[in-house]
Amino acid sequence: MKIKDVVEKQLGRLPPGMLTGAFKVAKKIPWVRERIEREYSTMLEAMETSLRPYRGEFPSYTALPAEGTSRTEVLEVMRAMSEREESRWRDGYVSGAVYHGNRDHIEFLSEVYALHSQVNPLHSDLWPSATKYEAEIVAMTAAMLGGDAVPAGPKGEDGVCGVVSSGGTESILLAMKTYRDQARQRGIKHPELVLPTSAHAAFDKAGLYFGIELVKVPVGPDFKADVAAMTQAITRNTIALVGSTPSFPHGVIDPIESLSEVARGHGIGMHVDACLGGFVLPWAERLGYKVPVFDFRLPGVTSMSADTHKYGYAAKGTSVVLYRGHALRRFQYYTTTEWPGGMYFSPTLAGSRPGALSAAAWAAMVSIGERGYMDSTRAILETAATIREGIEAIPGLRVLGDPLWVIAFAADDLDVYRVMEHMSHQGWNLNGLHKPACVHLCVTLRHTQDGIAERFLADLREAVSVVTATPSEGGSIAPVYGLAGTIPVRGVVSDVLERYMDLLYKV
């Protein structure tokens, strides 16, 4: 008996709002717990095998070796794993994940990192180079995202400013913490954030961490944020609205101009999540693509996040969060003056940070320049158009929304997760999504290599053909996604995800 069957047999047809609580009670019943654990074990065994392909092949350590392993041996092991893993993304089989990947670019960033491996921005007195890099990363990103449209004011504190963070999630966390703390000054004790259901999961994390209630509004039939519905959801406790450019699931651009005017009219913040598109859309606009205004040129936009480590082509581990005015940014900062260890302050969540990553981001940006970003964007969007047209031509598949380069597709009469699974057998690593059930490909420079788009479409046509011919067959991936997308008891899905994370740290 499968988890879904166990849950339904025990809980019957309770209203969805009662199911999660009822599931927690049902798990205490011995026979229910036994069957659920049995099913979990089967699922997790397959997951563990995929997570530990090196088990038994390379040395494994559960304690420090009595004598240090030679550097030569250490490097041999690491090179072997690196080379094997590089073959998975180098040839363009992966959705997103590696956004540049050219060997000369990797070697350049590695050299920059080596030069700055000891740099820690926490100690700006020792490494003023780190402050130079980060200040200029912020300034260049702000200029790219409409910062020039916001005058700095007589004291220089009214313009667009920001900080460098460790990634898009931290940028979003910092912005939400900022709005929460700003709202406290207005007497708001129970802050609410209004956002579309397509907004990134990092906003959920921010709500959990910072005690912000998320008011999620369903997207429209075009998968864009519903402006009217979000407006109706605003209350006196609302601290900000959220829009994405584009949204991660469906690659569509929310109506930022309309949302920003609503936010401005209500005197609340407006955060634009441009983590995925911040380093693409400005150049797409210059290339003549139809890109609505989405940045600080809109007076209602008060903060933005943009990932330098995605289409900014920096090494993994950097992002930028921007604010309209220094006064707003200061709500993000942390300071303490009473610690016996001295005065302590940090602009982001972390204390010590790898300055080498900021140096690599700065080096990537200044070495690529406007022309380089323009050329890369042109290649990506042209390739994405080929792929989108090819998907739309495959009977049984349909593209969701109107995406430019993050292309989600669904299927009405066949299991799209089985299509994804068949693609995985061909070496492809795609993103499975739900609500609705669909799959997406995030196009990067890896896909602009000769023949990659054509190979993807040929493999996709074959996958659809196989699934159409054998509609009743199961698989290893499809049931997991089917469970996540259809079972109403979210506790079941959370249990599986938590146990999966346990496996990440199992030797």
User: Nearest to residue 320, comparing CAs of 288, 284, 296?
Assistant: 296
Q: What is the pLDDT of residue 32?
A: 58
Q: What is the pLDDT of residue 13?
A: 44
Q: How many domains does the chain have?
A: 1
Does position 26 have pLDDT exceeding 90, yes or no?
Answer: no
- What is the pTM (predicted TM-score) of this model? 0.90
Q: What is the pLDDT of residue 477?
A: 55
Q: What is the pLDDT of residue 16?
A: 46
Does position 8 have pLDDT exceeding 50, yes or no?
Answer: no
User: Nearest to residue 94, comparing CAs of 378, 439, 447, 457?
Assistant: 447
Q: What is the mean pLDDT of residues 8-24?
A: 48
Residue 42 belongs to some domain of the structure: yes
Does position 397 have pLDDT exceeding 80, yes or no?
Answer: yes
Q: What is the pLDDT of residue 4?
A: 47
Residue 7 belongs to some domain of the structure: yes
Buried b (16+ CB within 10 A) or exposed e, 77-100: eeeeeeeeeeeebbbbbbbbebbb
Q: What is the pLDDT of residue 474?
A: 60
Residue 376 belongs to some domain of the structure: no
Residue 19 belongs to some domain of the structure: yes
Residue 414 belongs to some domain of the structure: no
Q: What is the mean pLDDT of residues 53-81?
A: 95
Residue type, 290: K
- From residue 466, give the alpha-carbon distance in Å to each of 460, 462, 478: 10, 6, 14
Q: What is the mean pLDDT of residues 315-323?
A: 98
Q: Which helix (H) or strand (E) holds 329?
A: helix 326-329
Domain that holds residue 45: 3-51+482-504
Percent of the chain whose predicted confidence (pLDDT) is above 90: 79
**Which of 83-87, 384-388, 494-498 is most confident?**
384-388
Condensed to tens digits (0 to 9), the pLDDT of residues 94-139 reads 999 999 999 999 999 999 999 999 999 999 999 999 999 999 999 9
The region of weakest confidence among 91-95, 152-156, 403-407 is 152-156
Residue 88 belongs to some domain of the structure: no
HSE-up of residue 397 (Cα within 13 Å, Cβ side): 28
Confidence of residue 491 (pLDDT cuts 50, 70, 90): low
Q: What is the pLDDT of residue 244?
A: 98
Condensed to tens digits (0 to 9), the pLDDT of residues 339-380 reads 999 999 999 999 999 999 999 999 999 999 999 999 999 999
Q: What is the mean pLDDT of residues 467-472?
A: 86
Condensed to tens digits (0 to 9), the pLDDT of residues 209-224 reads 999 999 999 999 999 9
Q: What is the pLDDT of residue 201?
A: 97
Adjacency order of strands within the sheet including 213-217: 160-165, 319-324, 303-306, 269-273, 238-244, 192-196, 213-217
pLDDT higher for 1 or 36? 36
Residue 41 belongs to some domain of the structure: yes
Nearest 10 degrees: CA dihedral of 482, 484, 488, 489? 130
Percent of the chain whose predicted confidence (pLDDT) is above 70: 88
Q: What is the pLDDT of residue 24?
A: 57
Please give the Cα distance from 504 to 507 (Å, whole number). 8
Residue 287 belongs to some domain of the structure: no
